Chains A and B, each alone.
Chain A
Amino acid sequence: LAKTTQPISMDSYEGQEVNITCSHNNIATNDYITWYQQFPSQGPRFIIQGYKTKVTNEVASLFIPADRKSSTLSLPRVSLSDTAVYYCLVGDEGSARQLTFGSGTQLTVLP
């Protein structure tokens, strides 16, 4: 299983763009990169997923360089409600193999 490394915490201000980087040096060819968001007292929820290059949805963008050894979750114009823990997950989504979460990044958005 590919191990992931993320910053423990980040602070930002409302309206700013936030970039959270995840390192996954031993990512396998079939592995996808998925990000989840978790609010206190709730289960994580899916944000975005990608394999290579750039993926964008209504919530975030995901940038993946050609070597795929890292990925960056980009949250545009954050608000106070984006304060949460963000997890980077790397795994073979095509199988039912066990999926392992890292420690995540606590993002705190300040007014």
Chain B
Amino acid sequence: NAGVTQTPKFQVLKTGQSMTLQCAQDMNHNSMYWYRQDPGMGLRLIYYSASEGTTDKGEVPNGYNVSRLNKREFSLRLESAAPSQTSVYFCASRSQAGREKLFFGSGTQLSVL
């Protein structure tokens, strides 16, 4: 039972490079989320998708784009990476119905040099 799977687990980029972080869930959840966590800090919401075909900005969307490819997959793209985007990125999902909890992936450690 995989749950929420994120790839890659680690990535090093140079300033200005682009990359896409992948996230997939196998729990048939409607809602998916991207968070970033800086050292010693809490999680900050970047973007979320309430359902397939919809995306909305969170607290810190600047410098990122997202795609809800289908119900299972929600990707996060950095078009031109900056050192300020060095962080750990977490993907999460939950069912839209009822009082459902968030399920998190294991995270992607991203360093931008």
B43 adjacent to chain A (CB < 8 Å)? yes
Given known contacts A94-B99, A101-B43, A43 and B30 CB-to-CB distance under 8 angstroms: no
The count of residues in chain B whose C-beta lies closer than 8 Å to any C-beta of chain A is: 31
Residues of B contacting A: mostly: loop
**Partner-contacting stretch, out of B11-19, B71-79, B102-110:** B102-110
Residue A81 is within 8 A (CB to CB) of chain B in the complex:
no
Q: Interface size class for chain A?
A: 20 to 34
Q: Are A44 and B50 in contact (CB under 8 A)?
A: no
Task: List 5 extra interface pairs beyond A93-B100, A95-B50, A103-B41, CB under 8 A.
Answer: A43-B92, A44-B104, A95-B96, A101-B42, A101-B43
29 contacts between A and B (CB under 8 A): A34-B101, A36-B102, A42-B106, A43-B90, A43-B92, A43-B107, A44-B90, A44-B102, A44-B104, A45-B104, A46-B101, A87-B42, A87-B43, A93-B98, A93-B99, A93-B100, A94-B97, A94-B98, A94-B99, A95-B50, A96-B30, A96-B50, A98-B45, A98-B58, A99-B102, A100-B45, A101-B42, A103-B42, A104-B42
